């Protein structure tokens, strides 16, 4: 199945599907084909209710496709239009395994991983497991930097998300209020943003969140040898901005960008700046 238009039954454009993990369907968008001349750009979304690759990166991936890059934008299992079984554990390790299957099937030998939040943690974990395949990393407010026991209780965005998830709140206004915690400016949350995420959230089984486990890397980040670009919104209510300094301390070759104009969704709140910064980083 392939289409870039929305339908009544789909809150986001329908792309392509492949089979992974014992015949589960993984949904992804793709522009171009893998080549030896340039790495593939892989966009990895976060873990919020209703997330998908398209809803996280709709203002970014076509910009890079227009520059001639092969682009992949997957939905993790449990998210977007991918299958959402209730009998698996939705860990970062699972997402790394599935990403490896996707890149293998698409014959991608060199990749730049671009990940937000959970996607940043998946990018770190993948690069540590398969360093020969990863040219560079771009992470925005990445998870996995420090044990959540040291910081999670102080993050207002996580508290708001926990209330929505635990209460299975699927009404539009509760969902809108949650999304307002993610961004620096409420104007960023348009009706279109809600329309692209709320139906996905309604379809997600509780296990997507109750079994979520993200690898914590801490000192292992020092083992990363590829160049890294880290962007962080100073108004992030989900992951501590101080983690940006930890990233700068640990990773050998890293550039860190902080912005007072963004919250947790740097790539959506400042898309033009984000796209230019990443373009420059790619060289």
Q: Which residues are catalytic?
A: 264
Order of strands across the sheet with 71-74? 16-20, 24-31, 71-74, 40-44, 111-116, 134-140, 228-233, 254-259
> Is residue 147 packed enough to be buried (19+ CB in 10 Å), middle (13-18) or exposed (0-12)?
exposed
What is the Cα–Cα distance from 65 to 233, expressed in whole angstroms?
25
Q: What is the DSSP string of 135-194?
A: EEEEEES-S-SS-GGGTGGG-HHHHHHHHHHHTT--SHHHHHHHHHHHSSSGGG--HHHH
């Amino acid at each position: 199945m392939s289409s870039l238009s929305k339908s009544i039954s789909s809150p986001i454009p329908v792309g392509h599907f492949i089979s992974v993990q014992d015949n589960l369907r993984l949904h992804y968008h793709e522009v171009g084909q893998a080549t030896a001349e340039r790495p593939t750009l892989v966009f990895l979304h976060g873990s919020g209710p209703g997330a998908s690759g398209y809803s996280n990166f709709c203002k970014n991936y076509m910009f890079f496709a227009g520059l001639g890059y092969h682009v992949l934008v997957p939905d993790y299992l449990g998210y977007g239009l991918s299958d959402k079984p209730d009998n698996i554990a939705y860990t970062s390790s699972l997402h790394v395994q599935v990403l490896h299957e996707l890149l293998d099937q698409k014959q991608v030998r060199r990749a730049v991983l671009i990940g937000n939040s959970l996607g940043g943690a998946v990018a770190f974990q993948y690069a540590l497991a398969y360093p020969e395949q990863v040219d560079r990393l771009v992470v925005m407010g990445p998870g996995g930097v420090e044990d959540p026991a040291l910081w999670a209780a102080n993050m207002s965005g996580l508290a708001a998300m926990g209330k929505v998830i635990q209460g299975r709140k699927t009404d539009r206004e509760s969902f809108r209020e949650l999304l307002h915690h993610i961004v620096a400016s409420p104007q960023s949350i348009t009706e279109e943003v809600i329309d692209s995420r709320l139906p996905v959230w309604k379809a997600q089984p509780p296990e997507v969140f109750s079994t979520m486990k993200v690898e914590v890397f801490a000192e292992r980040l020092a083992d990363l040898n590829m160049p890294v670009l880290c962007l962080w919104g100073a108004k992030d209510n989900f992951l501590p901005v101080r983690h940006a300094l930890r990233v700068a301390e640990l990773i050998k070759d890293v550039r860190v960008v902080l912005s007072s104009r963004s919250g947790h969704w740097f790539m959506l709140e400042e898309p033009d700046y984000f796209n230019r910064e990443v373009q420059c980083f790619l060289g």
